[in-house]
């Protein structure tokens, strides 16, 4: 228990402590720093840039952010955590990269240290009103930034249910999965430059697409099949050298934590362009990630067995013990003309066929080098669907809402989904096949303690679709 | 003409002046700097890091490098080039990004300024023996580095001849080109982390591939079909904001210059993994680029008309005037057991169907943001082949060596190519279908002045293939 009030369904109890990059209008933590006389030692290199309201490292607790740059400036780490020298330098940075590069033992020691400082029975922070005023920032007043400098972003395709659904739509039931799918975690390179933090508006892209199925002539137009993809993604901690694969038993040491991700997709652009080299402009106009990185250590209590793998993977992909995480996932939509968000998809990370450690080991088996801050998406996380009821299949969810994209929910645009205009008017519905201008998409995920006493959650990954903007030279 | 001696077939006459990042064992330019009394003004922020032998910006001239950080330290730019403030800061960086972000008018002014300083009839540098000793470094004693911090690397597929050759091999003559190929420059995202500078050894990757065509079972093994791809690549100058496409008439303003590139490929890994999301581990173990970035301005005199485009592209891809560059290209191989490099492929950038400006405009048409330093590969640059002789088709080259990969040269491994063991023993040949351990691949490219009086060249892009290294956990 923390001395910070944390409601039972909060995503950010003391058991979580996810890391993020935030800024405030005034850097309330550091600004009045030089006039204080309460430190035992002067601030290490009190350089002027620190006095600017600049993005810095914090951890979320309840509805607050604990500003680690302030703790560092007050020499907390220097005095209590010898494993982490240069804490002020590391926690004053505008990305988590420096911290993420330090590795598991430092992350673990820091977690224990922060849990101690935040616990209800430790007085240091709890009873220092002045310091609490400096070190805590309400999440409501902070602006969140991308948590990492992402060198490369890879997107996998690891949900068997999603790959099957898409396969059935395009190739029929008998050839739904490609021959390689059950042998390796299929992945491809995405675009790092257009990964944005939750809250960033996404502009509808235009590009080449076919006029229609009946008239397969390419034309230039704004996408008419805008979609989301419910994904999660892992962030690389320490990297590996080019030519030096990471073995599967070491893969976990290279993953710092996870976020929720929306891989926005323009299905019509993708469909025309992707043969034979894969998705490109249908995906790279924007990818949204949640701002708080939940560490693998915080997720450890929620490890469960993943799906049985048959055929047995090749040796370099074999692992034992539970390797899946029980993360409840939801997608909500708020159509432009609606008042409230409405849940249209429920799924779970635990259904994913290939584990995140298999993804990382596969990624490096050829010697490919990962760098600190690299992002690995899971692929769309659809779940199993029971044709009768989730209960009969022993599923948490599993009605026909366990589809991680509108492509699946509308079955390639062949049916409409209904969304209440507001929670108070369930019969007044808005219809959607794909995302319309002004619609917002919100994704969230959380783990639930077995006794229901707390959640370890990811917060929100949200974005609104803006209309395409026409320009002089842009006509087809 | 420069006062620096430049042999007629050198790639680096005063008409070229390509930019690169180099380092030396001793930073001979700056080391003795503080004791000099010859400056009119003191050095701006003479910070200690400058005294280290660190990578910095130079331009190639003949067999020398002109160290721009030294010229900046001597206030040359401050005095002669007001368009370029902070020259010392910019030219002391370990990448070209800061300089490349400045844009066309600064690049152009700098080029004129350097051509003036280097010309045979300007005494400033020519007659200052001490300064010449500090400002020039023999290329033979310098180490070259990656020229840019590459945020994202995109590889296109823009040679019609290459796409057709590969298509014929895999789908037959009638369906060689995919339906989208003549409508848009097909491209996909590559891996930025594994782009390396010329001279870096490449390790043979292992991974999943099929046992054989007859036995299509996946196994784990080192690649048995190692290949090169002859490409060129452009580097982004000023970027564009997310959601703001670059129109084709402005595309050139966003390209700083070009390099020669070897997109090393493991055909067997690629072939098994690439459906449906494109190449991944078959490509991302290493991509080599030449160290000297030849500016578009230096290439301007070699603009020629590209291939006629039929069907007419959509409006956002339409451009007028010559848009192709007449760059002669060659690939040479030196087998492990051979003495010399032997040319196995001759091609030309001018044959490329989609221009580099079409590639850039297409890349951003959906709002995708490019950042300074991003790399755009052309795709394998095969050329037209005349079944009789190049002369009959009016081609420069065009015997059956205009194939930019071993996949094409050995026609998917169906025939061997012969390489003389040494230039003096043309009949003692070594056979190759794909690259063997210890083989080196060298690519080069140059433009030739119409009167043959000088070349504007790219230097060399070279790499050696190291054997796969087995590890404990790596068996399949
Ligand atoms: Ca995806
Ligand atoms: Ca290529
Ligand atoms: Mg995306
Ligand atoms: Mg490559
Ligand atoms: Ni990067």
Residue whose entry in the numeric block shows the structure tokens 């002067």: A42
pLDDT in tens, A404-454: 999 999 999 999 999 999 989 889 999 999 999 999 999 999 999 999 999
Residue B391 confidence class, pLDDT cut points 50, 70, 90? low
CA–CA dist B12, B24 (Å, integer): 20
DSSP lists the bridge partners of residue B324 as B304
Residue B476 confidence class, pLDDT cut points 50, 70, 90? very low
Q: What is the mean pLDDT of chain A?
A: 91
Residue A171 confidence class, pLDDT cut points 50, 70, 90? confident
Of residues B370, B172, B456, the one with CA closest to residue A285 = B370
The pLDDT of residue B425 is: 87
Chain A contact probe: residue of B367, B371, B466 with most A CBs at under 10 A: B367
CB B312 within 8 A of CB B318: yes
pLDDT in tens, B92-122: 999 999 999 999 999 999 999 999 999 999 9
Backbone angles phi, psi at A443, to 5 degrees: -115, 145
Task: Give yes or no: B162 in active site.
Answer: yes
- Tell me the ipTM for this assembly: 0.93
The pLDDT of residue B470 is: 83
Residue B395 confidence class, pLDDT cut points 50, 70, 90? low
pLDDT in tens, B413-430: 999 999 999 989 889 999
> Is the Cα torsion angle B63, B67, B71, B77 positive or negative in sign?
positive
The pLDDT of residue B231 is: 98
Mean pLDDT to the nearest integer, B61-81: 94
The pLDDT of residue B46 is: 40
pLDDT in tens, B278-307: 999 999 999 999 999 999 999 999 999 999
Look up the pTM and report it: 0.94
CB A441 within 8 A of CB A331: yes
Quick one: tokens of B265? 């490929």
CA–CA dist B262, A32 (Å, integer): 55
DSSP lists the bridge partners of residue B202 as B465
Nearest to B316 among A243, A363, A474 (CB): A474
Ordered structural domains, chain A, with CATH: 19-31+50-145 (2.30.30.230), 153-470 (3.90.850.10)
Sheet containing A342-348, strands listed edge to edge, beginning at the edge strand earlier in sequence: A202-203, A455-466, A440-448, A328-334, A342-348
Mean pLDDT to the nearest integer, B262-284: 97
Q: Where are the beta strands (DSSP E) in A268-393?
A: 287-289, 294-295, 303-304, 324-325, 328-334, 342-348, 375-377
Mean pLDDT to the nearest integer, A277-289: 98
CA–CA dist A182, A363 (Å, integer): 16
Among A295-309, B86-100, B132-146, B382-396, whose mean pLDDT is lowest?
B382-396
Q: Which residues of A are annotated as a binding site for substrate?
A: 157, 171, 270, 274, 380
With CB atoms and an 8 Å threshold, state whether A245 touches B474. Answer: yes
pLDDT in tens, A58-82: 999 999 999 999 999 999 998 899 9
Q: How would you classify residue A17: left for phi > 0, otherwise alpha for psi between -120 and 50, otherwise beta? A: left
> Is the Cα torsion angle A178, A180, A186, A191 positive or negative in sign?
negative
Question: For the CA atoms of chain B, what is the radius of gyration?
Answer: 23
Of residues A330, A261, A317, the one with CA closest to residue A293 = A261
Residue B41 confidence class, pLDDT cut points 50, 70, 90? very low
Question: Cα separations (Å) of B238 from A427, A472, B107, B243?
Answer: 52, 21, 12, 15
Residue A160's CB: how many other CB atoms inside 10 A? 20
Of residues A18, A195, A192, A22, the one with CA closest to residue A93 = A22
Q: What is the mean pLDDT of chain B?
A: 91
* Residues on chain B touching A185 (C-beta within 8 angstroms): none
Does residue B37 register a pLDDT over 50? Answer: no
Burial readout B203-233 (b: 16 or more C-beta within 10 A, e: otherwise): bbbbbbbbeeeeeeebebbbbebbbbbbbbb
Distance from CA of A470 to the nearest CA of B (A): 10
Q: Count CA atoms within 13 Å of residue B60 on its CB side.
A: 31
Does residue B31 register a pLDDT over 90? Answer: no
Residue B96's CB: how many other CB atoms inside 10 A? 25
Question: Cα separations (Å) of A238 from A188, A362, A374, B79?
Answer: 21, 17, 10, 45
Q: Of the listed A86, A116, A162, A342, which one is catalytic? A: A162
The pLDDT of residue A61 is: 98
With CB atoms and an 8 Å threshold, state whether B475 touches A315. Answer: yes
* Residues on chain A touching B154 (C-beta within 8 angstroms): 280
Quick one: tokens of B366? 């959906």
With CB atoms and an 8 Å threshold, state whether A367 touches B151. Answer: no
Does residue A138 register a pLDDT over 90? Answer: yes
Three-class DSSP category at B163: helix
Mean pLDDT to the nearest integer, A143-155: 98
Distance from CA of B453 to the nearest CA of A (A): 41
Q: How close is the Cα of A222 to the center of ligand 3, in Å? A: 16
The pLDDT of residue A388 is: 61
Does residue B52 register a pLDDT over 60? Answer: no
The pLDDT of residue A394 is: 57
Distance from CA of B85 to the nearest CA of A (A): 23
Backbone angles phi, psi at A143, to 5 degrees: -105, 130
């Amino acid at each position: 228990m923390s001395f910070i009030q944390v409601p039972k369904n909060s995503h950010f109890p003391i058991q979580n402590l996810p890391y993020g990059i935030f800024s405030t209008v005034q850097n309330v933590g550091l600004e009045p720093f030089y006039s204080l006389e309460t430190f035992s030692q002067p601030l290490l290199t009190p350089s002027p840039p620190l006095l600017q309201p600049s993005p810095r490292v914090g951890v979320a607790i309840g509805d607050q952010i604990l500003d680690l740059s302030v703790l560092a400036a007050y020499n907390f780490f220097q005095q209590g955590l010898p494993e982490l020298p240069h804490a002020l330098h590391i926690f004053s940075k505008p990305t988590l990269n420096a911290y993420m590069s330090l590795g598991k033992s430092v992350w673990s020691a820091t977690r224990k240290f922060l849990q101690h400082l935040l616990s209800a029975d430790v007085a240091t922070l709890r009873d220092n009103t002045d310091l609490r005023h400096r070190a805590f920032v309400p999440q409501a007043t902070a602006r969140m930034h991308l948590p990492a400098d992402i060198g490369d972003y890879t997107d996998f395709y690891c949900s068997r249910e999603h790959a099957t659904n898409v396969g059935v739509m395009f190739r029929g039931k008998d050839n739904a999965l490609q021959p390689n799918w059950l042998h390796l975690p299929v992945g491809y390179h995405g675009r790092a430059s257009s990964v944005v933090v939750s809250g960033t508006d996404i502009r509808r892209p235009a590009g080449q697409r076919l006029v229609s199925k009946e008239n397969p002539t390419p034309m230039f137009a704004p996408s008419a099949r805008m979609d989301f993809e419910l994904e999660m993604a892992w962030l690389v901690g320490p990297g590996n050298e080019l030519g030096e694969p990471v073995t599967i038993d070491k893969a976990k040491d290279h993953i710092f934590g996870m976020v929720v991700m929306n891989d926005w997709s323009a299905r019509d652009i993708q469909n025309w362009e992707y043969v034979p080299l894969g998705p490109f402009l249908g995906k790279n106009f924007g990818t949204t990630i949640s701002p708080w990185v939940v560490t693998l250590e915080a997720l450890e209590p929620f490890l469960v067995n993943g799906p049985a793998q048959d055929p047995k993977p090749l040796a370099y992909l074999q692992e034992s013990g539970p390797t899946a995480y029980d993360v409840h996932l939801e997608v909500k939509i708020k159509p432009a003309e609606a008042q409230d968000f409405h849940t249209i998809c429920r799924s779970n990370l635990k259904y994913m066929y290939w584990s995140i450690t298999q993804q990382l080991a596969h990624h490096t088996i050829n010697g490919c080098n990962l760098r600190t801050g690299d992002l690995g998406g899971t692929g769309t996380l659809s779940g199993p669907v029971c044709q009768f009821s989730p209960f009969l299949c022993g599923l948490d969810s599993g009605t026909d809402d366990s589809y991680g994209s509108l492509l699946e929910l509308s079955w390639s645009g062949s049916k409409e989904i209904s969304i209440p205009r507001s929670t108070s008017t369930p019969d007044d519905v808005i219809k959607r096949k794909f995302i319309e201008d002004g619609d917002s998409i919100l994704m969230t995920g959380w783990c639930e303690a077995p006794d229901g006493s707390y959640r370890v959650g990811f917060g929100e990954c949200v974005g609104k679709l803006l209309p395409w903007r026409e320009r002089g030279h842009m006509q087809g």
